[in-house]
């Protein structure tokens, strides 16, 4: 079943593992919002500040849900939404007021932006808020030959080598079909924030994190970088085949394709037995993984000759049940409707909202889903009131365009 607000949960479970953590989120697009949604799902109080025009992903559709792109909705639940013009002195004063009791400050402005606003980490924030953990997410970092330049996921996929190893051997380099660089950047940012918070328990001091898309894109080039360091050979595209393992590829069956991920000799022997061709396991060409990689073309032909008598839907459960890693190639609708997706509670629901649930499962303090993604400026008044700003002042700020509701 989808995950929803469960009233039966204990107070600790409802609070979440990060209850009491205040996060001020000035990030937009994907990496930063994904990071802060991870923290929010696990109980952090996340206040998302957007410019009066909003996070640009609000317009990245279709599809739209009540005028807001699904792209935005998938990354911004469990957050309070405030719209403030930080290009104004009053807007920056509100930000500083929010940081007074904040634990974490996440932003992905172009490097140098905070400094131009008189809010640089070293010169201002670290001195005024010594316990604050500041996380700066950028395309290439602030220094170096490309320091300060803008970066987007697909650009980093191209420059960082991912496209060079993705695609068919005889085809063109391809972008991975999901924004993998942005996603892993968000994960690394969340991980780094938690490391800094852990260290703060002993030192009492915050620190600044420098998390770049370029670094994160290069970091996921495994095993290709490891192989290159070992043999100095530039890796080529190999379609769905693994460069180090065979059989590890999509294989044609009598119906839909199946993906086999056979990682050792025992799994290979079981595969051959279940396909009614045990002699393949004893063939010298396929005696071990090194031999199978050297003869992967012949191996694929031999396996597909046997797979032709089966369909992926009926064969995959039998193979994986016998310990042979494999699976049918499913589309998104099939994934959403799969019984195991429901069992693992991977769809979060908050009223009419549906989103991808947190994959981080803690036994006592699981993720909870408390707020749908905020309307632009939807919580501006509530947040300003919490800062002690009276209604008359709020109205003046709204009329001046500093705050949007």
Q: What is the tens place of the pLDDT at every residue in 206-233?
A: 999 999 999 999 999 999 999 999 999 9
Name the token pair of 73: 């909705």
- The rounded Cα 161 to chain-centroid distance in angstroms is 19
Q: For residues 190 and 192, what is the distance between their CA atoms, to the nearest angstrom?
A: 5
Number of helices and strands in the chain (H, E)? 19, 14
Query: Residues of the chain whose pLDDT is less than 50?
Result: 6-8
DSSP 167: S
Q: Where in the sequence of the chain do the CATH 3.30.1540.10 domains occur?
A: 248-337
What pLDDT does 8 receive? 46
Residue 74: which of 355, 378, 349, 346 has the closest Cα? Answer: 355
What pLDDT was estimated at residue 6? 44
How far, CA to CA in Å, does 223 sit from each of 73, 226, 229, 260, 268?
A: 34, 5, 10, 18, 22
Q: Are strands 347-350 and 326-328 parallel, antiparallel or unpaired?
A: unpaired
- Asked if 182 is an active-site residue, the reply is yes
From the list 312, 223, 218, the residue with the least C-alpha distance to 263 is 223
* Other CB atoms within 10 A of residue 175 CB: 17
Q: Rounded to an integer, what distance in angstroms lies between the CA atom of residue 183 and that of residue 14?
A: 26
**Residue 220 tokens, joined:** 């996921």
Closest CA to 85 of 94, 72, 73: 94
Give the Cα separation of 250 and 248 in Å (integer): 7
What is the rounded distance in angstroms from the CA atom of residue 108 to the CA atom of residue 125? Answer: 16
**Cα separation of 213 and 186, whole Å?**
9
The answer to whether the peptide bond before residue 63 is cis (omega within 30 degrees of 0) is: yes
Distance CA 379, CA 385 (A): 10
From CA 297, how far away is CA 333, in angstroms rounded? 33
Question: Within 10 Å of residue 10's Cβ, how many Cβ atoms?
Answer: 9
Q: Which residues contact 343 (CB under 8 A, 6 or more apart)?
A: none
Of the candidates 85, 103, 153, 182, the residue annotated as catalytic is: 182
Report residue 59 as tokens.
């317009």
Which one is the CATH code of 11-220+358-404: 3.40.50.150, 3.40.50.10540, 3.10.310.10, 1.10.10.10? 3.40.50.10540
Residue-by-residue DSSP string for 350-377: ETTEEEEPPS---SSS------PPPPTT
Sequence ranges of the chain with CATH classification 3.40.50.10540: 11-220+358-404
Task: Decide: helix, strand or coil at residue 119.
Answer: coil
* CATH superfamily of this structure's domain 248-337: formyl-coa transferase, domain 3 (3.30.1540.10)
Helices (H), 296-389: 296-307, 312-321, 332-337, 339-343, 380-386
């Amino acid at each position: 079943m989808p995950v929803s607000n469960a009233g039966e949960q204990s107070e600790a479970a409802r609070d979440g593992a990060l209850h009491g953590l205040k996060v001020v989120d000035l990030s937009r697009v994907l990496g930063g919002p994904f990071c802060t949604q991870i923290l929010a799902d696990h109980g952090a109080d996340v206040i998302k500040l957007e410019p009066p025009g909003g996070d640009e992903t609000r317009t990245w559709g279709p599809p739209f849900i009540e005028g807001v792109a699904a792209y935005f909705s998938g990354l911004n639940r469990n957050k309070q939404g405030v719209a403030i013009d930080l290009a104004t002195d009053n807007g920056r004063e509100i930000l500083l007021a929010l940081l007074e009791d904040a634990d974490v400050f996440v932003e992905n402005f172009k490097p140098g932006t905070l400094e131009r606003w008189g809010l640089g980490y070293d010169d201002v924030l670290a001195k005024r808020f010594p316990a604050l953990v500041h996380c700066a997410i950028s395309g290439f970092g602030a220094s170096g030959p490309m320091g300060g330049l803008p970066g987007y996921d697909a650009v980093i996929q191209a420059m960082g080598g991912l496209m060079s190893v993705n695609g068919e051997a005889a085809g063109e380099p391809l972008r991975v079909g999901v924004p993998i660089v942005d996603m892993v950047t968000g994960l690394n940012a969340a991980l780094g924030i938690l490391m800094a918070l852990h260290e703060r328990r002993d030192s009492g001091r915050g620190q600044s994190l420098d998390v770049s898309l370029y670094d994160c894109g290069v970091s996921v080039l495994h095993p290709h970088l490891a192989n290159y360091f070992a043999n100095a050979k530039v890796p080529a595209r190999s379609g769905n085949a693994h460069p180090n393992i065979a059989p590890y590829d999509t294989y044609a069956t009598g119906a839909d394709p199946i993906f086999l991920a056979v990682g050792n000799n025992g799994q290979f022997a079981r595969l051959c037995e279940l396909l009614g061709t045990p002699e393949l396991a004893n063939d010298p060409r396929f005696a071990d993984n090194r031999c199978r990689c050297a003869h992967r073309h012949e191996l694929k032909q031999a396996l597909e000759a046997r797979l032709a008598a089966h369909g992926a839907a009926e064969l995959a459960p039998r193979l994986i049940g016998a310990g042979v890693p494999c699976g049918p190639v499913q589309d998104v609708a099939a994934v959403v409707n799969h019984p195991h997706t429901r069992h693992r509670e991977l769809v979060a629901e908050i009223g009419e909202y549906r989103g991808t649930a947190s994959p981080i499962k803690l036994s006592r303090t699981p993720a909870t889903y408390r707020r749908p993604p905020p309307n632009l400026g939807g919580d501006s008044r509530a947040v300003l009131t919490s800062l002690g700003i009276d209604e008359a002042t709020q109205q003046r700020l709204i009329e001046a365009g500093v705050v949007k509701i």
